[in-house]
Structure 1
Amino acid sequence: MALKRHGFLLSSLAVGVALGALALSIGFAAKAYPHDATPTAAMPQGWSYPFSCCSGFDCREVPDASIVEGARGYEIRVTHELIPMSDPRIKESPDGRFHWCSVAGAADGRTICLFVPPRSF
Structure 2
Amino acid sequence: MKHLFLTTRVPSKFRELVAFLSLVAVFFVGAWVLFIAPNAKAHPALPTAAQPHGWSYPLSCCSGYDCREVAYNAVAERREGYVIKRTGEVITYTDSRIRNSPDGLFHWCSAAGANDGRTVCLFVPPHGY
Select the residue among 83, 99, 108 that pairs with 2:107: 99
1:1-121 alignment, distance < 5 Å: 34-121=42-129
* Cα offset, 1:84, TM superposition: 0.1
Once residues 110 and 93 of structure 2 are traced to their aligned partners in structure 1, the CA distance between those partners, rounded to angstroms, is: 17
Please tell me the root mean square deviation across aligned C-alpha atoms, in Å. 1.6
Paired letter, 1:71: R
User: What is the count of residue pairs matched by the alignment?
Assistant: 91
From the superposition, tell whether residues 45 and 33 of structure 1 become closer, same or farther in structure 2 (CA, over 3 Å). farther
AA at the equivalent of 2:62: C
Q: For 1:42 and 1:90, locate their aligned partners in 2 and report how far apart those are by CA, in whole Å.
A: 20
Say which SS state the counterpart of residue 95 (structure 2) adopts: coil
The gaps in structure 2 that reach 5 residues or longer are 1-39
Q: What is the TM-score of this pair, normalised by structure 1?
A: 0.72
Partners of 1:99 and 1:79 in 2: CA distance? 15
Question: In structure 2, do the counterparts of structure 1 residues 33 and 45 end up closer, same or farther at CA, with 3 Å as the change threshold?
Answer: farther
* 2:42–2:59 CA contact under 8 A, matched in 1: no
Letter in 1 for 2:45: A
TM-score (norm 2): 0.68
After the TM superposition, which parts of structure 1 deviate over 2 Å for at least 4 consecutive aligned residues? none
Counterparts of 1:33 and 1:46, CA distance in 2: 15
Computing the radius of gyration from Cα coordinates, the structure with the larger value is 2
